[in-house]
Chain A
Amino acid sequence: MEEFIQSRFNYWIYVILMMIGLWGMISKNNLIKKLIGMSIFQTAIILFYVSVAVKSETANIPILPHHGHDYSPKIAFAHAVSDDHENGGHDDHAGHQAHPVGPKIPDPDGYANPLPHVLMLTAIVVGVATLGLALAITQKIYREYGTLEEDQLLEKVRADDHG
């Protein structure tokens, strides 16, 4: 059981965080508390995606190590291209592993998957925009109604409907 929880620790935390956020969004009466719930909810998803990117204990962040001048990605790429030309210009193999460029391309298993991180950068931006818009709407609501408690708000809205 302990092993079961430990091996998926990140995922347990993400589920728990997500449920806390969802509960906050649905059951809290105060609009700001709802938004706090929303932030927790979105952060839980970011944690989930980042956990997906993990490959193994030894896998590192996807930055190429700088062993002398050969390992700079720019030079590695330049070498790959020049190798291509030396071999007769098969330029359509640029994206394939099939073309060996010796030790210049490092082992992909040594690095975490960068794609989920990139996706989450976008998701973070979306989250910030949502929160900003939500706070602006909350501000407008407070200015118009003088309260941020949902039950009082709905009462006043109902009075508006009939008046």
Chain B
Amino acid sequence: MVEHAPVLLMVVPLLAAVFCALLGLRWKALCLPLTIIGFIAALYFSVITFLQVSASSDHQVIYFLGGWNASEFPRGVGIEYRVDLLNGMLLIVIAAVALLAAIFSKQFVSMETPGKEPQYYALFLLLAVGLMGMTITADAFNLYVLLEVSSLTSYALIAMGSRRASVAAFQYLIMGTIGASFYLLGVGYLYIKTGSLNMQGIHDILIGEGLLESPAVYVAFLLIFVGVWIKLAFFPLSTWLPNAYSRAPTATGCIIAPLMTKVSVYIMLRIMLTVFGPEYVYDELSWSGPMVWIAVVAIIAGSILALGQKDLRRMLSYLIIAEVGYMVGGAWLLAPGGMARGESLYSTATGLVGTGYHIISDAAMTLCLFLAVGAMIVKAGSSRIEDMKGLFRKCPVTMACFVVGALAMIGVPPTCGFFSKWYLISGAFEAGRWEFAAALIISSLVNAVLFFRIIEFAYFGKLPEVDDAHGHHQRHDEGGMEENPPSMLVPLVLASVALIAIGLFNKEIAGYLSQFLNTVAMGGQG
């Protein structure tokens, strides 16, 4: 049981999805409990896997799918799952976010997509399975298949919303298919050169055969990177994101927004560090200069576009584009030539630690904010920022959680947003990239303006006067509190507690991440 945990964390939600689709046709009420059980199991197995990883001497757990054995066959004959400290943490985050989003979805699914619970929850589970699979797999082609599993389910989940959502889903589908196809093409080029599909195997052959200068490998990196770039919604290929995320059904937004771009950032890291290796990415390519500048533009553009939004969810969607800029920029901070100069990777890679940290904290922050905004929109009856007036009196717990999320997004200690930004900014200083540090600070200021404007509306804004049945003017807010139901509050409170917890455990998380980078610097063999 324990040794099969890496695969069980995917198999149990997958089976739950099948049962959801089948049993749900007869008993609709079974769908949500099945989903929650599936995610609890996934969370349990991902925690077990992570404990195994941190206990093992080389900080990784390898699982051979179908029982093919690496001692008998050359690496890459079968599919391999490989969990190390980075994706071990990410698996826990994915399972936890999916669990909280599933609990939160209770009210919304029956409200927004009535009668479609079995389909909705089956897709919901499959999306999480796809994301966890992308995170855990060590096979480049398997990654493509699971990328498509998560993408296809997310298109469907978005299209189940309003009629505007289906147009957004179509645009997302076209962009996403182009991205995934480019990725597949890049893997083909790598396969031509190396004859392997295993990520570590590709890396070993690239280094062993001295293929780093090959133009085919360059084309492969270019194709894979452009494909991942689209999936990341990294500026300027981010036009699909705001429409898709802000028009999706509320519960869909709560799982896609925290996880989709974050897992894509992880994929980028994995491609950079494991498949091509830091020697290739930082020394051979020397893209660091332009990449960080694009990240700066992404951060500034995302923040400024967010300032111009009147719709709360749309504003958050633009903030995600800025946050992707943080993470991509942090990953590319390492100056070219560092490896050649004999510097070890981890001693100059605070930016990479920041990126890894920010993947985790941004997933938690986005979850908290999307949950809070979903709950606020129910109470306000609209998603416009002006309509948030008086919400503090109406639902204080929801708003308190929103404030915690907002503080994390701005970067106030002790929330996680402060620590991940701290690592990113120190990484920028170390690398001497002042423009990146400046962009981070400007974006934090913009976040402060954005969120304090909403908090001001919600705290000081008076509710509009309404006529009651007798024609008397009556203030709505004198009616007192109308807090949201527990199915919405519990995940929301847990998410905001997680924000502070991820911040308080900053030492441990950063320690795991530098340990991970340490392993990468030693050639990934551990």
Q: Is B178 in contact with chain A by the CB < 8 A criterion?
A: yes
Q: Is B444 in contact with chain A by the CB < 8 A criterion?
A: no
A48 to B99, CA, bound (A): 41
Residues of A within 8 A of B164 (CB): 157, 160-161
Q: Is B279 in contact with chain A by the CB < 8 A criterion?
A: no
Name the segment of B167-175, B232-240, B255-263 touching the other chain: B167-175
Return B157 CB to nearest CB of chain A, in Å.
11
- Across the interface, A137 reaches (CB within 8 A) one of B144, B148, B169, B178, namely B169
What does DSSP make chain B's interface, helix, strand, loop or mixed?
helix
Q: Is A55 in contact with chain B by the CB < 8 A criterion?
A: no
Binary interface profile of A, 44-81, with partner B (CB < 8 Å = 1, else 0)?
A: 01001100100000000000000000000000000000
Question: Contacts A48-B185, A92-B71, A140-B159: A130 and B173 contacting too (C-beta < 8 A)?
Answer: yes
Please tell me if the beta carbons of B152 and A94 are within 8 angstroms of each other in the complex: no
- Across the interface, A45 reaches (CB within 8 A) one of B72, B184, B191, B192, namely B184
A38 to B159, CA, bound (A): 19
Q: Is B155 in contact with chain A by the CB < 8 A criterion?
A: yes
A116 to B188, CA, bound (A): 9
Residues of B within 8 A of A95 (CB): 72-74, 77
Please tell me if the beta carbons of A133 and B178 are within 8 angstroms of each other in the complex: no
- Across the interface, B191 reaches (CB within 8 A) one of A22, A52, A92, A94, namely A52
Q: Is B166 in contact with chain A by the CB < 8 A criterion?
A: yes
Please tell me if the beta carbons of A45 and B185 are within 8 angstroms of each other in the complex: yes
Query: Which B-chain residue is minimally distant from A38 (CB atoms)?
Result: B177
- Across the interface, A126 reaches (CB within 8 A) one of B145, B188, B192, namely B145
A69 to B332, CA, bound (A): 60
Question: Contacts A95-B77, A126-B145, A161-B164: A31 and B170 contacting too (C-beta < 8 A)?
Answer: yes
Q: Is A5 in contact with chain B by the CB < 8 A criterion?
A: no
Question: Contacts A45-B188, A92-B72, A119-B141: A130 and B148 contacting too (C-beta < 8 A)?
Answer: yes
Please tell me if the beta carbons of A137 and B159 are within 8 angstroms of each other in the complex: yes
Q: Is B341 in contact with chain A by the CB < 8 A criterion?
A: no
Q: Is A141 in contact with chain B by the CB < 8 A criterion?
A: yes
Q: Is A105 in contact with chain B by the CB < 8 A criterion?
A: no
Binary interface profile of A, 106-149, with partner B (CB < 8 Å = 1, else 0)?
A: 00000000001001001100100110011011101100110000
Residues of A within 8 A of B173 (CB): 130, 133-134, 137
Query: Which A-chain residue is minimally distant from B178 (CB atoms)?
Result: A25
Question: Contacts A25-B174, A130-B148, A137-B155: A52 and B188 contacting too (C-beta < 8 A)?
Answer: yes
Q: Is A34 in contact with chain B by the CB < 8 A criterion?
A: yes
Return B79 CB to nearest CB of chain A, in Å.
12
Residues of A within 8 A of B167 (CB): 141, 145, 153-154, 157
Please tell me if the beta carbons of B163 and A144 are within 8 angstroms of each other in the complex: yes
Residues of B within 8 A of A22 (CB): 178
Please tell me if the beta carbons of B72 and A134 are within 8 angstroms of each other in the complex: no
Please tell me if the beta carbons of B185 and A133 are within 8 angstroms of each other in the complex: no
**Which among A133, A153, A161 has the greatest number of chain B C-beta atoms within 10 A?**
A133
Residues of A within 8 A of B188 (CB): 45, 48-49, 52, 116
| Contacts beyond the supplied A41-B178, A138-B170: 4 A-B pairs with Cβ under 8 Å | A130-B173, A130-B177, A140-B163, A154-B167
Closest 8 CB pairs of A and B: A144-B163, A95-B73, A126-B148, A140-B166, A137-B159, A141-B166, A137-B170, A160-B164
- 13 inter-chain pairs at a CB distance below 8 angstroms, sorted by A residue, are A38-B174, A38-B177, A41-B177, A45-B188, A49-B188, A95-B72, A123-B184, A126-B148, A133-B173, A141-B166, A157-B164, A160-B163, A160-B164
**A residues near B, CB below 8 A?**
22, 25, 31, 34, 38, 41-42, 45, 48-49, 52, 92, 94-95, 116, 119, 122-123, 126, 129-130, 133-134, 136-138, 140-141, 144-145, 153-154, 157, 160-161
